[in-house]
Amino acid sequence: VCSVPCFYCWLGINLISLNSRLFAQCCLYNCSSGEKSMVEDDDKIGLYSYKVQSTITSRLANTMIQAKMVNNAKRPQHIVFDVQVPKGAFIDNFTMDVNGITFTSSIREKSEARRMYSQAKAKGKAAGIVRSNALDMENFKTEVNVPPGTRIQFELHYQEMIRRKLSSYEHVISLKPGRLAKHMEVDVRIIEPQGIRYVHVPNSLGDHFNGITTISKGEKKAHISFKPTMAQQRKCPTCSSTAVDGNFVVQYDVNRESTGGELEIFNGYFIHFFAPENLDPLPKNILFVIDVSGSMWGLKMKQTIEAMKAILSELRAADQFSLIDFNHNVRCWRDNLVSATPAQVEDAKKYIQTIHPNGGTNINEALLRATFILNEAQNLGMLDPNSVSMIVLVSDGDPTVGELKLTTIQKNVKQSIKDEFSLFCLGIGFDVDYDFLQRIATDNRGMAQRIFGNQETSAQMKRFYNQVSTPLLKKIQFNYPQESVSDVTQSSFHNYFGGSEIVVAGKVDTANLQHLESVVTATAANAELVMETLRDVEELDGFMKKDKYADPEFTRKLWAYLTVNQMLAERNTAPTAALKRNITKSILQMSLDHHIVTPFTSMLIENSEKDEIMLADQPKDPRRGCCSGLTPNAPDNNKGIPPWANVTAVPVSFMPEQRSPPVLLLTPASFLYISVDNDPHFIIYLPKSQRNICFNINSDPGHILNLISDRSTGVVVNGQLIGAKKEENKKLNTYFGKFGFYFKNKGLKVEIDTETITLKDGSYSIMLSWSDTGHIIRKQLLISVKKESNVTIRVGEEMSFMVLLHRVWKNHPVNVDFLGIYIPPENQFSPEAQGLIGQFTSEPEVYIYNQRPGQTPEKPQATMEVKGNKLTVTRGLQKDYRTNRVFGTDVQCWFVHNSGKGFIDGHYKDYLVSHLYSFLKEP
């Protein structure tokens, strides 16, 4: 009867409760005082089970929160189900069971849902659910008034993509049951086809729960279980309140073998996870713009100063920076960017310590000054072309001085940044229009974060900064075969920051496809990178079938998650109302198709008779920033000439194997298939006399042999020996385990071992692994890696080298992985070239005569005259592995004994050098 006053009473928080069989007795609330007279019976509500189950399948987390409660009081009670859902997660299902009556949910277009709800309400049959926002969680709250003895079960499902931050995935589950639960259990299962590197459960619920969590971790699966007993839940042995009140956090990371990223293909969708490591940071140009208006006074400023001092200390020598502080005025510590030398950093720290907050907030002026400084540096050519420029804005309030209109500020900033820099925004506390900060950040390739204005502020600022402090790549472009993929999510990104992960998804037509290939191009600190990844489209099928917890829909859900979040960000910055409407329509369709609650849908909860209806709606307050998912990189709108023209144009015929067959070649002997000897084993083809001459070098593991030392062209090639795991026939075989190439004129060094390929330019280095197919281009030097197979180094048109990888069975008792090198004859070394190979650039005169039977008939002997020496040589076979990497191809040659003595200049020991990049000493 009192539905009307209650309606008004609860309007403030959107809860509407009307008379009905279940939702009676709302009058017990004293609306005029706002007092809840029900509270006295609060402890009569029993929570007999509280369960959270979360399954992460390849970053896609499906979480279920279930509570079973009972009204033990003698009077009707309000039973509240109040849980927190991470911001950006999509609620996809809610069910409720009240004394056997089941309520199920459906997702509807917002206005339709509201209409249906108000119609039902008019008939006096409805209750409400409210969703409201907190910092990084959203509340989902249901209140139901039930008669005594009622049993009620709530179950909420939501899904989210776990983003990688600071080198780990963090899954946060809010655990606030509000009271002791008879049975409480949290189960988190992680299923990661890439393999799980580690799982860590920090003590985020407090020391009280030390040792209660159990973790079992396999190679690709992990299970985390937290089941505190009622006694363990109690705050103290005699307490009736629960100590379970906080976040349950699981951190983990996955294994990564390939720099080109991991392609997962399943059920008609592909997901590409890209998180390369082992790259040198790009230099950055960074402007800190700090709000020092009066509202920052006190703790906020103290914490900001502390954070800034730490952040400044972390700048790298190659970085350039400056500081701007603003209230109603804008002040600069330096009018231009300066290098982050220790002296400048010290000076900046001193400057920031002297700041006393007061006055108003002129955000517009401050941001325009910052972009002016960056633009000027750019125009004067002061910025390293490979560097990344960014502005970091720290503010705690809305503009109060100067330009106040947010849309005008947004337009001004966009115009002056011109898509050249990134803008990152930190909003401190709740006085700031966070939605605005998020809009200007995503509009300008950045991201925003809200942080509390409390003791944690400094730590949170540093954490945010650390996410963007290490740019590793810029201009990242993902390419897939157009004929087999469609609906690809954002595929070009301005920056990749260390510790994060870029995820691209799309639909893939696997009907006529065996493999899916991707090519990623990017600019690294010292090179242009082209990385190829190839995946069998059925590779995951077996794995997914075997695991009963894995979500077979994970690829579809990840794709939908990315697509919807991307459209939400695009909608935020859409220039025209028409486009906005279009995007809204697409988001709505996606939400309905994929059954997820987004800002344009609501959830209706009804019983089967459809005479009880509830509405789950989102708050409308824009200050709370309801709708924008955090997208780390704004889409690249910079259409026009692709910056990759140089890179993608690398013709395949660049590779020497496509040219005339190499004639001068050198290879180490193989392990199993050669009876003669396993030591590094050279085959030299002499074009004039059309003969192959072979020799072995018997030296020790660790020794570095010079192969080419050409001072005129500035080229050095050295090879370092490794030994087998143990002796065989009282002899320890050696192989080439590492090659060093030094191109002195370019200042470039290349190191290749059996694990990685590293290019070094001064203090920079860049690494590819043998498990990637990829290229590095730097100063006209091309390194092209064919996964697990070979590397070609090409220097302009003049020179090329090929290194072949020989993998042996990992557990082989004797053999180890090793390398071979092939040098084509077109290489233009100078006639002065030296080294075990280099000396043969000038072909010696060789006469072979007096062929006679040897010890065995298939190994005849002969006499060879070369360089004034008379040698006995043996006819034999050696292996060339270029066409057949496993068995090799037999090459007939004349074998020179005693480590090539007489055939090579001097003794083989004359070719030992001390470093991988040393020239041979002048003779």
Pairing of strands 681-686, 691-696: antiparallel
Cβ-based nearer residue to ligand NAG, 369 or 681? 681
Which of 48, 312, 40, 57 has the alpha carbon at shortest distance from 183?
48
Cβ-based nearer residue to ligand NAG, 23 or 881? 881
CB 696 within 8 A of CB 680: yes
Question: What CA–CA distance (Å, rounded) separates 238 from 235?
Answer: 8
Q: Which residue has the tokens 């509240």?
A: 80
Least distance in Å: CB of 770 to ligand NAG? 11
Q: What is the DSSP string of 716-768?
A: EEEEEEEE-SS-BTTB--EEEEEEEEEETTTTEEEEEESSEEEEEETTEEEEE
Least distance in Å: CB of 605 to ligand NAG? 11
Least distance in Å: CB of 93 to ligand NAG? 4
Least distance in Å: CB of 64 to ligand NAG? 8
List C-alpha distances in Å: 159 to 96, 129, 265, 504, 600: 19, 19, 20, 18, 17
CB-count exposure of residue 588 (10 Å: 0-12, 13-18, 19+): middle
Cβ-based nearer residue to ligand NAG, 125 or 787? 787
Q: Which tokens hold the place of 238?
A: 């005699």
Cβ-based nearer residue to ligand NAG, 9 or 79? 9
**Residue 344 is which amino acid?**
Q
**Residue 474 is which amino acid?**
K
Least distance in Å: CB of 473 to ligand NAG? 14
Least distance in Å: CB of 20 to ligand NAG? 22
Least distance in Å: CB of 553 to ligand NAG? 11
Least distance in Å: CB of 581 to ligand NAG? 8
Cβ-based nearer residue to ligand NAG, 155 or 832? 155
Three-class DSSP category at 70? strand
Cβ-based nearer residue to ligand NAG, 156 or 374? 156
Cβ-based nearer residue to ligand NAG, 146 or 529? 529
Cβ-based nearer residue to ligand NAG, 624 or 882? 882
Q: Which residue has the tokens 């209750």?
A: 127
Q: Which tokens hold the place of 665?
A: 């070649």
Cβ-based nearer residue to ligand NAG, 114 or 779? 779
Least distance in Å: CB of 689 to ligand NAG? 25
Least distance in Å: CB of 76 to ligand NAG? 16
Cβ-based nearer residue to ligand NAG, 362 or 601? 601
Question: What CA–CA distance (Å, rounded) separates 134 from 287?
Answer: 30
**Residue 795 is which amino acid?**
V
Least distance in Å: CB of 663 to ligand NAG? 14
Cβ-based nearer residue to ligand NAG, 33 or 855? 33
Q: Which helix (H) or strand (E) is 457 found in, with range? A: helix 457-468
Q: Name the residues that contact ligand NAG, by CB under 6 A.
A: 30, 32-33, 93, 95, 155, 578-579, 582, 595, 646, 657, 786, 789-790, 802, 882
* Angle, CA of 175, 176 and 177, to the nearest 5°: 110
Q: What is the DSSP string of 151-170?
A: EEEEEEEEEEEPPEETTEEE
8-state DSSP, 88: T
E strand segments, 754-905: 756-761, 764-769, 773-778, 781-786, 790-795, 799-806, 818-822, 846-852, 861-866, 869-880, 889-896
Give the bridge partners for 250, in sequence order. 171
Least distance in Å: CB of 9 to ligand NAG? 11
* Angle, CA of 7, 11 and 14, to the nearest 5°: 110
Question: What CA–CA distance (Å, rounded) separates 602 from 64?
Answer: 19
3-state secondary structure 651-701: CHHHCHHHCCCCCCCCCCCCCCCCCCCCCCEEEEEECCCCEEEEEECCCCC
Cβ-based nearer residue to ligand NAG, 790 or 841? 790
C-beta atoms surrounding 162 within 10 Å? 21
The CA-based dihedral angle spanning residues 883, 888, 890, 891, taken in that order and rounded to the nearest 10 degrees: 60
Least distance in Å: CB of 794 to ligand NAG? 13
Cβ-based nearer residue to ligand NAG, 211 or 385? 385
Least distance in Å: CB of 848 to ligand NAG? 29
> By beta-carbon distance, which residue lies closest to ligand NAG?
33
Cβ-based nearer residue to ligand NAG, 93 or 598? 93
**Residue 118 is which amino acid?**
S
* Percent of the chain that is helix, strand, coil (3-state, to 5): 20, 40, 40
Which of 742, 766, 740 has the alpha carbon at shortest distance from 751?
740
Cβ-based nearer residue to ligand NAG, 326 or 770? 770
Least distance in Å: CB of 594 to ligand NAG? 10
Least distance in Å: CB of 445 to ligand NAG? 20
Least distance in Å: CB of 15 to ligand NAG? 19
Q: Residue 608: CB partners within 8 Å, gap ≥ 6?
A: 101, 102, 104
Cβ-based nearer residue to ligand NAG, 313 or 646? 646
Cβ-based nearer residue to ligand NAG, 102 or 313? 102
Question: What CA–CA distance (Å, rounded) separates 820 from 75?
Answer: 85
